[in-house]
Amino acid sequence: MTELNKIAHKILEKGKGILAADESTGTMTKRLQSVNVESSAKNRILFRETLFSSKGTSDFIGGVILYDETIRQNSSDGKSIPNLLSEVGSIAGIKVDTGAKQMAGSPDEKITEGLDGLRERLKEYSKLGAKFTKWRGVYNISKKYPSKLSIKSNAHALARYAALVQECGMVPIVEPEVLMDGNHSADDCFNKTSEVIKKCFEELVLHKIDLSGVILKPNMILAGLESKNQISNEDTAKLTVKCLRESVPKEVPGIAFLSGGQTEIQATKNLNLINKFNNTNFIMSYSYGRALQQSALKHWAKDTQDIKGTQAVFDHRAKMCSLAAQGKWSSELENK
């Protein structure tokens, strides 16, 4: 087992998953404004520290993806955020792309930027305590999209990113997200997601990536949000497992799903069923942002000093996600 493989397993083993707390300052501002809390650096770190120091993080979160601002901040008692996470048994990660921008040659699609200067930034993040990283490519679905240009360009960028990350001794999370927006069918999502993931791994192999030291962060197979032909949770789970079984090389240790706009309960229920139908050797867990934090954020917004109450809400959500990552979740446990 290589060092990278050990890190990947530590993040996802024993029903643990990833907390995606890597919202940019702009996104975090929108989240806080939606619950009528001022988006100051002090409030941003207060909310995040409340989650990071919780029993839920200690018991159920193997890794936390941070944003550039957060990895440089200290907790209320002066510890660096990576040290705080290490003390509760979680690993610090860092989002390293600089965002999805309009693609030249296909202006309705996006290409993720951030390769310039990445090698130097990775060295700095490693010194700050990061052990893994994240880069997100995004793909639209429609009759025309994603185009071959988008699929190839984003796969190439993800592979170049992953090569630099492994060179620096960190685990890359590869996140090719096929968006839920649109009226496409689940079959369209299955076909496009399969094509996107296969192209990503083709490029990763070409760039000599150690696949045993990679975590894949894909979308689940769902019909578009505006589609009249929604499918059952069981069909989502079966199609998702089929897609990954046929598209992901066996060397990859784990898959951590994004929630992609699903509600907390939807994301938990679907993950649980995926694990019930999981006939692969992949660990199938979670890398959720809103689907782990939303209820805790709403509770915290009522009284930002109610640390214990906020943590209790988060602990429950994290426990439910962990049970789902083991195929042990139920609505009875959810509502206890």
Q: Residue 325's domain spans which residues?
A: 3-334
264 as an active site residue: the answer is no
Tens digit of pLDDT for each residue in 102-137? Answer: 999 999 999 999 999 999 999 999 999 999 999 999
If we measure between CA atoms, which residue out of 62, 181, 188 comes closest to residue 131?
62
Given the residues 23, 175, 177, 264, select the one marked as catalytic: 175
Contact 129, 71 (CB under 8 A): yes
pLDDT at 336: 82
* pTM, 2 dp: 0.97
Domain count across the chain: 1
Given the residues 16, 110, 134, 217, select the one marked as catalytic: 217
Q: Exposure of 126 by Cβ count < 10 A (0-12 exposed, 13-18 middle, 19+ buried)?
A: middle
pLDDT at 267: 98
Tens digit of pLDDT for each residue in 11-38? Answer: 999 999 999 999 999 999 999 999 999 9
Residues of the chain short of pLDDT 50, as ranges, are none
CATH number at residue 285: 3.20.20.70
Output the six-digit token pair for 305: 């000093």
Contact 64, 85 (CB under 8 A): yes
Contact 37, 303 (CB under 8 A): no
217 as an active site residue: the answer is yes
146 cis-preceded (ω within 30 degrees of 0): yes
